[in-house]
């Protein structure tokens, strides 16, 4: 793949969409956790259906969103900002993998509970340790950002 102005615009638009989604999720998670930790300790505020106790997860989502938004100069054919896409995709996939490992660990815990004689439920898949389990948006945004990172890596290797 060759980097041209049209491809740069596509990549900038894709990065802006993913970055915007990460910013929205990060603000919602961070705000809810800040409220539940410091303003109303022990509270149960949840914004957008996200867990209200993951302060650092919200902060990580904000950072990933800001990194993706750093790729916006690609729209104006400033190709040196492709590094923002590479770093953003790397962070996104890393945090998505961490949350997937948490869901996997919850599944192992559910299996062990079943083997010890407790009843089996699928609740662990949806709720999980950190709130929304497999429905956690960082997992799905990692899958959405991986193709963008792959294309950026392919372009960097060609040039």
Q: Is there a contact between 20 and 65 (Cβ–Cβ < 8 Å)?
A: yes
User: Is 72 a domain residue?
Assistant: yes
- What helix, strand, coil percent values describe the chain, rounded to 5? 75, 0, 25
| pLDDT tens-digit readout, 16-53 | 999 999 999 999 999 999 998 888 887 777 777 777 78
**pTM for the complete prediction?**
0.87
User: Is 26 a domain residue?
Assistant: yes
Count of domains forming the chain: 1
End-to-end CA distance of the chain: 10
User: Is 56 a domain residue?
Assistant: yes
User: Is 146 a domain residue?
Assistant: yes
User: Is 60 a domain residue?
Assistant: yes
Instruction: List Cβ neighbours of 3 (8 Å cut-off, separation of 6 or more).
Output: 79, 82, 155, 158, 159
Domain enclosing residue 145, as ranges: 5-96+137-158
User: Is 107 a domain residue?
Assistant: no
| pLDDT tens-digit readout, 112-146 | 888 888 776 666 666 655 566 777 888 999 999 99
* Exposed/middle/buried for residue 100 (C-beta within 10 Å: 0-12, 13-18, 19+): middle
User: Is 51 a domain residue?
Assistant: yes
User: Is 89 a domain residue?
Assistant: yes
| pLDDT tens-digit readout, 79-104 | 888 999 999 999 999 999 998 988 88
């Amino acid at each position: 793949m060759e980097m041209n102005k049209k491809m740069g615009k596509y990549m900038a638009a894709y990065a802006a969409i993913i970055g915007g989604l990460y910013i929205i999720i990060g603000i919602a998670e961070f705000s809810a956790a800040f409220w539940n930790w410091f303003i109303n300790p022990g509270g149960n505020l949840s914004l957008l259906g996200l867990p209200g106790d993951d302060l650092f997860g919200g902060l990580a989502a904000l950072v990933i969103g800001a990194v993706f938004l750093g790729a916006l100069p690609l729209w104006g054919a400033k190709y040196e900002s492709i590094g923002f896409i590479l770093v953003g995709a790397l962070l996104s996939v890393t945090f998505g993998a961490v949350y997937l490992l948490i869901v996997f660990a919850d599944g192992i815990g559910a299996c062990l509970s079943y083997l010890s004689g407790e009843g089996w439920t699928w609740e662990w898949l949806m709720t999980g340790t950190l709130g929304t389990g497999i429905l956690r948006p960082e997992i799905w945004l990692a899958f959405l950002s991986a193709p963008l990172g792959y294309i950026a890596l392919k372009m960097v290797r060609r040039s």
